[in-house]
Amino acid sequence: MKDLPITDNHIHVDPVNGDGPLEVAKKFQKAGGTVMIIPNKPTWTMGESYNLQETMEEVIKYVQEINENVDVKAFAVVGAHPAELSRLIKEGISLDKAEEMMKDALQDAQKLVLEGKAIAIGEIGRPHYEASSEEMEVHNRLMLRALELARDADCAVQLHTESSGEKQFREFAEMAEKAGISKHRVVKHFSGPFVLEEENHGLTPSLIATKKVIVQGLKKGTNFLMETDYLDMKTRPGAVLGPKTVPRRTRGLIQNGILTVEDAHKIHVDNVERVYGIELP
Ligand SMILES: [Zn+2]
């Protein structure tokens, strides 16, 4: 159990508003974590006038910093968060123009994956808040576009969406089918315990690592990933789970006999390798 690999599938690092890549990685590593999958944060967390492309470049730098300085393997996930579209519209940019900017960013995300600098496109998807039907149409088109780009790059996608159950999973699975991407490569970030195939329709749920969700998930199987969605923001310390949560949760569940070492290996290594098409150390 000492050498058990442990992956946080969605953890942010933010040197502007939080502790930054090295401090977060050190905390994660000290708690027993070994692999961090890090999506870029939205532009407005970066400070003045950052564009969509620059935030993707930044997360790639953070990942390099971690890999060079901390005994943790970090991977970047790059994309344009759905809230970026809403933000552009609020700034007075037309819906058409905003859609073009988002599309360009997704194209650039794919390029970074093809260059080997990132392992997946994300987080992309739909807002978790109300939006006009015109805006929602654009979100859905962008989501499909991202899935197609991922299909062409042979990579995974991390979805950020409204809170989702079986019905939404079915809709996303249909979009994946339309785009021609393998459904298991479409990861629903911040998921509840929708581990059964009839609940997730072949998509991979990334379970939020509260005790309740993980224990419920384990009752149904091991076909899932684990994440904190840690934001690394000093102003919102309790907004989500802390960076030590996935290692601690995993070890705790093993100690309590709820999770076996073999099943932990499946969740933290086999599933990660299969979804992202990578090999873990
Ligand atoms: Zn996130």
Ligand 1 centroid–CA 127 distance in Å is 12
Ligand 1 centroid–CA 229 distance in Å is 5
Question: pLDDT at residue 122 above 90?
Answer: yes
Query: What was the pLDDT predicted at 73?
Result: 98
Structure tokens at 37: 């999958």
According to DSSP, the β-strands at 35-39 and 73-78 are: parallel
63 within some domain: yes
pTM value > 0.85: yes
Query: What was the pLDDT predicted at 240?
Result: 75
1 within some domain: no
CA 221 and chain centroid, separation: 21
Ligand 1 centroid–CA 122 distance in Å is 9
Helix (H) or strand (E) holding 6: none
200 within some domain: yes
Burial (Cβ within 10 Å: 0-12, 13-18, ≥19) of residue 173: middle
**Average pLDDT, stretch 162-173?**
96
Ligand 1 centroid–CA 123 distance in Å is 7
**Average pLDDT, stretch 62-75?**
98
133 within some domain: yes
2 within some domain: no
Ligand 1 centroid–CA 120 distance in Å is 13
Domain count, the chain: 1
- DSSP single-letter state for residue 225: E
* Mean of all residue pLDDT scores within the chain: 96
pLDDT tier at 50, thresholds 50, 70, 90: confident
> pLDDT tens digit string along 19-35?
999 999 999 999 999 99
Question: pLDDT at residue 239 above 80?
Answer: no
169 within some domain: yes
24 within some domain: yes
pLDDT tier at 41, thresholds 50, 70, 90: very high
281 within some domain: no
Ligand 1 centroid–CA 93 distance in Å is 24
Q: What are phi and psi of 74, to 5 degrees?
A: -110, 145
Q: First and final CA of the chain: distance in angstroms?
A: 16
Question: pLDDT at residue 2 above 80?
Answer: no
Query: What was the pLDDT predicted at 135?
Result: 96
> pLDDT tens digit string along 175-226?
999 999 999 999 999 999 999 999 999 999 999 999 999 999 999 999 999 9
Structural domain range at position 270 = 7-276
Helix (H) or strand (E) holding 56: helix 52-69
Query: What was the pLDDT predicted at 86?
Result: 96
pLDDT tier at 237, thresholds 50, 70, 90: low
Ligand 1 centroid–CA 257 distance in Å is 30
Ligand 1 centroid–CA 11 distance in Å is 7
What is the chain's Cα-based Rg?
18
Ligand 1 centroid–CA 30 distance in Å is 22
Ligand 1 centroid–CA 164 distance in Å is 15
**CATH code assigned at 26:** 3.20.20.140
